[in-house]
Structure 1
Amino acid sequence: MSLLPHASAFRVNNSDESGVDRLTVRMLRHADLTAHDQACWAVLSAQAGAANVFAQDWFMKAALSQTHDGCDALLAVVSHGHGPWLGVMPLIAESRFGRWPARIWRSWSATNQFLGTPLVAAQSADIFWESLLAFLDARAGREILLHFEKFDADDPVSIALFDRCKQEGRSFHTIQCLDRPAHRAGDDAEVRSDAKTQGRLRSLSRRLERDHGPVAVTMLDPGQPCASWIDAFLEMEASGWKGRTGSALGSNSATEVLFRTVIERGHANGSARLCSLSADGRAIAMSSWFESATWGHGFKMTFDEGYRAYAPGQLLMRDISDRIGRRPEMSFDTCVPREASNCHRLWRSNRRIIDGAVAIGSPWQRFHFDALIKARAAYAAIKTHLSRPKTQ
């Protein structure tokens, strides 16, 4: 439940006496965006969305529209008056910080949005954070922090936030940091995966072909409709363990609609890549990912569990890795934790993903922030101590 009043926009202005370079911060509900706002969002997506396709307008609009709490999210927009947008970050107000009662702002994303770095023009990143943090300070009721999730730690937009906090002496706390398997543009193709993994996958591919017929990987042509591909993907996923546990995309109407919508829109605008691995013409693994000019982002993969012995998902991932490796300008984020599967053996680089908290508000509110962080640390230390096995 949103903690905000029903008003759809708030403003704070930073300007010199002449009004030149006046910057405005607005908090807008998705449903209230004007045609001009929509156009500004689209322009910013084209200019600044390469490093995070999930922040681009076409994906974010679907996410906000198709998720249960999307109506409570607000778009924090920094712009030159009502002119071009410099950046936008979806936020939601909450009354808890994990297990702790506290009024906070949290960066908003849908369940299947795997990167939360906001959509900001790189050259405007510092002024974006300066303006947004000053705005949150000025209008903070009892909010004591900005909780951000799934930021790329090495992205210029994230680095600008870290630098801004240091410059202002603003408290900053890292909550979680993890590395995801990735390919970095310019990586040597010869060291992208180890020889043992490649040898094992070649052997599995030969066994699959021997037992079940010719093996092929096909990409859905951009000019072809994608509805049947989506149906086949959802059916394959539902037939496996995710379907049995109720965690398949099709197990929940909201996640299914979001998947269908973003795949259809991504396929239509040229961002989505839809790929299938088949044996004797029968699809046994399917994968989707998104590409911009410089970054690819893994999205969803599934496989037929009847062929588990041949590791069809890994065979398909090997083909994707090879395709990406042949494009020297392209980086690729698998969007899965390194420990989640064996695919990390095909991707030797990392993308570091960070969650953190930034203090906002008055000196009194920042004192509460520091106290909360210390309490969390003390609780974690006690919990760790109590969980250690006792020695005789």
Structure 2
Amino acid sequence: MTAQEVIAGKDAGLRAALVSCGEALALEPAIAALGEELLEENPFFSAPALLPALEAYGDDKTRLACVWLGARLIALWPVEKRRFYARLPYRYWATWTHPHCYYGAPLIARGFEEEAFKELFALLGDGEEARCFVRLGRIERDGPVYKAALAAAKAKKRLAYEAGAISRAALQGGASVETTLAVHVRKKKRKELQRLRNRLNELGDIAVREATPTDDIAAWTEEFLILEDKGWKGKKGTSLKSSERDADWFRNTLRRAHEADALHFMRLDIDFRPIAMLATLMEGGVGYSLKICHDPAFDRFSPGVMIEIEAMRSLLAREGFRFADSCAAPDHSMINGLWRARRVVTGLNVSGRGLGSKAGLALAKALEGARDRFPKE
């Protein structure tokens, strides 16, 4: 069954199917419709970010696990087949991500989570391979997708357990800008940043800008690529500009997100030249930090911290803002010193209904437990 046939509503009813990267573009209208009422927002898997990512990083192992109710798409989960888990030769389906994707919650239509996960687990975990299981990666432990997936697994007596949790900085909405800054940024730090800002003002005209619908987003994107390449990533050959594929992915993602009003893009300028820039993907009232960069020539002024604080001000002032995920490493000292809330992102392993799958996953769980109790020196 092709993606076009599914959209046309043939074989109406509840059904699941795996769709290849090559057919993903045909799903764009259905993905856009799904995004209008989600159980949990994930801008990395919305159409503006997902389609450029599949084009840049998807391969013949990448699939979109889709669940349809009649002609309506009610679930979308990018997945890939893997061959080893916990050093065991298990073939399993896991959330597909790419090097710049920091959250992995599937897109599930609100109110259809039971039907969606029932079909997804049956499609991916109850195949011909007796020991196959599925892994939802990079989902929030306290989030609605995690809770719905766990409930669906228990309802069908599947074995399920959590593995791979990390905690990273987050920004919670609901309070005023100044109240939040007072809590998150110590008074001494605020005074020091104001002193640095005053010194920076002596070098030229300082301005904070946020991209608007009429801004030339292509020009902003090229300035970001050049600015990031000036820093340590450029020296190590890991900047976006160092790779044609990465740079094209970034251009396409920001262009599409900007067109969909799903991009929060800020810059700190001196004499109309950026010294720090920050791009965040938005979906509904939530944001996920995508990329940040600054000019190393201005390191002594802490431009990265300045742009983060300006982004805090902007996000907290947005109507309907709920939270932002830093998408940073757990030990990221800069953002941890600014964003005091924490978000636990983890994985959920779910077995098939067969005894072989349950036994295999139980063994994997035991091995992971032993590894955590007796880590290598």
TM-score (norm 1): 0.86
Q: Specify the SS of the correspondent of 1:53.
A: coil
**1:21 Cα offset (Å):** 8.7
The 2-side partners of 1:373 and 1:91 are apart by 21
Aligned residues: 365
2:32 to 21, 34, 42: 42
Q: Report what 2:17 is aligned to.
A: 26
- Structure 2 gap ranges (5+): 4-10
Answer yes or no: is the 8 Å Cα contact 1:105–1:143 preserved in 2: no
Which aligned pairs between 1:140-155 and structure 2 lie closer than 5 A? 140-155=128-143
SS of the equivalent of 1:102 reads coil
Match of 1:351 in 2: 343
Partner of 2:7: none
1:192-226 CA-partner distances (Å, limit 9, x unpaired): 4133332222222122223x223211123311222
Judged with a 3 Å threshold, the aligned counterparts in structure 2 of structure 1 residues 70 and 21 are, in CA distance, closer, same or farther, namely same
1:298 pairs, out of 285, 289, 303, with 289
1-structure distance, mates of 2:18, 2:134: 15
* In 1: Cα distance, 2:326 partner to 2:364 partner: 34
> How far apart, CA to CA, are the structure 1 residues paired with 2:217 and 2:22?
28
Alignment equivalent of 1:80, drawn from 47, 69, 75: 69
Amino acid at match of 1:353: V
1:100 aligned counterpart, secondary structure:
coil
Structure-2 residue corresponding to 1:200: 192
Structure 1 counterpart SS, 2:174: coil
SS at match of 1:51: coil
Q: Distance in 1 between matches of 2:317 and 2:334?
A: 22
Please list the CA deviations of residues 284-305 of structure 1 after superposition, one character each: whole Å capped at 9, or x if unmatched.
1111112233112211110000
Aligned partners of 2:374, 2:327: CA distance in 1, in Å?
32
Cα distance in 2, alignment partners of residues 342 and 34 from structure 1: 38
- Structure 1 residues 169, 85: CA separation in 2 closer, same or farther (over 3 Å shift)? same
CA gap of 1:33–1:54, structure 2 versus 1, over 3 A, is: closer
Q: 1:47 to 1:73 in 2, by over 3 A?
A: same
Does residue 1:122 correspond to 2:110, yes or no? Answer: yes
- Cα gap change, 1:338/1:209 in structure 2, threshold over 3 Å: closer, same or farther? farther
Among candidates 240, 252, 263, match of residue 249 of structure 1: 240
Q: In structure 2, what is the equivalent of residue 334 of structure 1?
A: 326
Report the alpha carbon displacement of residue 62 of structure 1 after superposing the two structures with TM. 1.0
Rounded Cα–Cα distance in structure 1 between residues aligned with 2:68 and 2:90: 30
CA RMSD across the alignment: 2.3
Report the CA distance between 1:103 and its aligned residue: 0.8
- Unmatched 5+ residue regions in structure 1? 1-6, 10-19, 388-392
1:61 alignment partner AA: L
Q: Partners of 1:332 and 1:382 in 2: how far apart?
A: 35
1:247, distance to aligned residue in structure 2 (A): 1.3
User: Residue in 2 aligned with 1:312?
Assistant: 303
The answer to whether residue 216 in structure 2 is matched with residue 225 in structure 1 is yes
* TM-score, structure 2 normalization: 0.89
Q: Give the conservation status (yes or no) of the 8 Å contact 2:77–2:106.
A: yes
1:56 and 2:46 are equivalent in the alignment: yes
One-letter identity of the residue aligned with 2:352: I
- Distance in 1 between the 2:140 and 2:274 partners? 34
